[in-house]
Amino acid sequence: MTSFPILSVLNNKALLLEFAILNIKVRYKGTHLGFLWTAIEPLLIFVLLYVVFTSIRLGDKENFAIYLLSGIVLYHIFSRGTMSGMTSLRINTGIIKSINLKREFFPTASTLSTTLLAIVEIGVLLSLMPVFQFSPTLTILLVPLPFILLLIFILGLSYLLSIINIYLKDIQTIWAIIVQTLLFTSPIFWYLSDVDELLHIIQSINPVGQIIELNHQIVVFGQIPPLSDWLYTTVFVFATLFLGFGIFKKFEKKISEEL
């Protein structure tokens, strides 16, 4: 019987956390700034895009800096989280072959690492609000919800992509292109009210864009999105989780052979 996602590895909670922290240490090993890159990476992207879009007068809208930064933070979490989850099996080949651990432990630990780093990025977003003279409303209390949806989505994709990556390494290149495309087809530096019908159609089926827009409504516009806006995203996210986990369990027995 297929076990419930995440719950199957929670018996090793201490090991899971230790491994997640180890992933972070390995990621920044050999760099001079180390863990500080967690905050610096999205900030560098933000500065670049902010300078570009304010220079060409597309950033004249109120609170554009926070709008842009909040979008970049979620996009960066998604990009880093899925790329890390996708390679979580391959980079742990030695451990998989030598230690008897449930295979789903590795994409789950990768997502936990992403969660820990996401907390830092959320802190960066909140700390820069006074810099841009932005005063959030009480709706800011709902800000964990889009991030939770995003992290569940990353976990589901990590299960799916990691198992595909065992059989088809080309998925790394393909996924990198998809992630790059999402930067331009999600409402990060453009507003839904300013784009034509094509981008509206793409946005309506783009779960990453939907999560980013939910976050914009809560953080930037001080609004509680209607239930209908939450429904599609929530269903899509959990469908991805169960689909990804189901496919992972179906093919996990051959992981050692393929590695």
Predicted confidence band of residue 242 (pLDDT cuts 50, 70, 90): very high
pLDDT of 123 higher than 70: yes
In b/e form, how buried is each residue of 39-53, taking b as 16+ CB within 10 angstroms?
A: bebbbebbeebbeeb
Spatial distance between the Cα atoms of 37 and 27, rounded to a whole number of angstroms: 10
pLDDT of 64 higher than 70: yes
pLDDT average, residue stretch 12-36: 69
Instruction: Give the 3-state secondary structure percentages of the chain, helix then strand then coil, rounded to 5.
Output: 75, 0, 25
Domain residue ranges in the chain: 7-258
Predicted confidence band of residue 1 (pLDDT cuts 50, 70, 90): very low
- What pLDDT, on the 0 to 100 scale, is given for residue 81? 94
pLDDT tens digits, residue range 103-113?
Answer: 888 899 899 99
225 vs 58, which has greater pLDDT? 225
Residue 33 DSSP one-character state = S
Which amino acid is residue 34, in one-letter code? Answer: G
